[in-house]
A = this chain, B = another copy of it.
Amino acid sequence: MRVDVIANVDDIRSEDFIQKSAVVIDVLRATSTMITALAKGACGLLPVETVPEAQSKRSKHTFVGGERYYKKIPGFQAGNSPHDYMSEEVAGKLVVLTTSNGTRGLLKSQRASRLLAASFMNGTACASALANFERDVILLCAGCKNEFSLEDGLCAGMIIDALESHLGKPVRLNDLGAAMKLAYRQCRHNLYETVMEGASAKQLVKLGFAHDVEYCTGIDTVPVVPITKKDLILTPLY
C-alpha cells in the first residue's frame, strides 16, 4: 500500500484521486466539526463551496453553518467551531457546511473511490478503514490559504503511524509522508503544545477559540468516520 501526503489543496489535481482512498484533513476545524456533528446525531453532512449555495439549502431539515477565515458567516445557524454542533438542534438534521479550506478539499477529492474526513479525534478509526479498503491512499492536508498547516501534517503522520500499526508493516510513503510520520512521532506525547505553535492555532486563540484547539487535538476521542455516499453527503462509516 502506498500513502501520499499532499501539503495543501492546490498541490493536487482532481484526477489524481481516481481509484484511490482519499482522506481530507482539516483539524482546525472543518473535519473535527464534521466528526462532532455526526457523533451528535446529524444524519449527514453536505460540504458546499459558496455562501449563497449554503443559504439556498436552508430548510427545517437542515442546519447551515460555516466560516470564512475563522469568522462565522452572518445569518448562518453556526460557525465552524465544533462546539456549535453539540446542541440538540443538530440531531436528525443534514448539516450544510461551507468553510475556507476543508470543504474545498472534499470537493477536490470527489473522484476518489472512498472519501473520508479525518482529524486527530478519529485518526485510528480512519486508519483501520483505509486498511480495509486495500487501495493506495491520498492524505490531503487542507492547509490554510494555499499553505501547509502544521496540525494537518501531524494528523497525516498520526494516520500513517496508526495504519502501519494496524497492518503490522511499513507502507510506502512519499517524501512529505515520511517527514510527517517522523514529526508526529516526535511530538505525539506533546500534541496540544506543538499544535499551539502553528499559525492556525495562534489565530484561533487570538479570536477566543483556545478551547477548540484543545478539543481538536484530543487523540481518538470521537471514533466516528465520516465517509461520502452519493452527492458528496458524508455519513458515518459503520
> Residues on A close to B: CB < 8 A?
7, 147-150, 153-154, 173-176, 178-180, 182-187, 194, 197-200
Contacts and interface: CB of A to CB of B under 8 A. Distances in A.
DSSP majority for the A interface? helix
A187 B182 contact: yes
A196 to B, nearest CB: 10
Given A148-B175, A148-B179, A149-B175, 8 more contacts: A7-B148, A150-B176, A150-B178, A178-B197, A179-B180, A180-B183, A182-B187, A183-B183
Given A186-B186, A194-B182, A148 B173 contact: no
B186 A173 contact: no
Contacts of A148: 7, 175-176, 179
Contacts of A7: 7, 148, 176
A84 to B, nearest CB: 25
Number of copies: 2
A180 B148 CA distance: 12
A199 B187 CA distance: 25
A176 to B, nearest CB: 5
A178 B200 CA distance: 13
Contacts of A173: 197
Name the residue among A147, A178, A194 with the largest chain B CB count within 10 angstroms: A178
A182 to B, nearest CB: 4
A205 to B, nearest CB: 15
Contacts of A147: 174-175
Name the residue among A148, A175, A176, A198 with the largest chain B CB count within 10 angstroms: A175
B186 A198 contact: no
B179 A153 contact: yes
A163 to B, nearest CB: 16
A179 B200 CA distance: 14
Contact of A175 (B153, B174, B175, B186): B153
Contacts of A199: 174-175
A186 B190 CA distance: 14
12 contacts: A147-B174, A148-B179, A150-B175, A150-B176, A173-B197, A174-B199, A178-B197, A179-B180, A182-B184, A182-B194, A183-B183, A183-B186
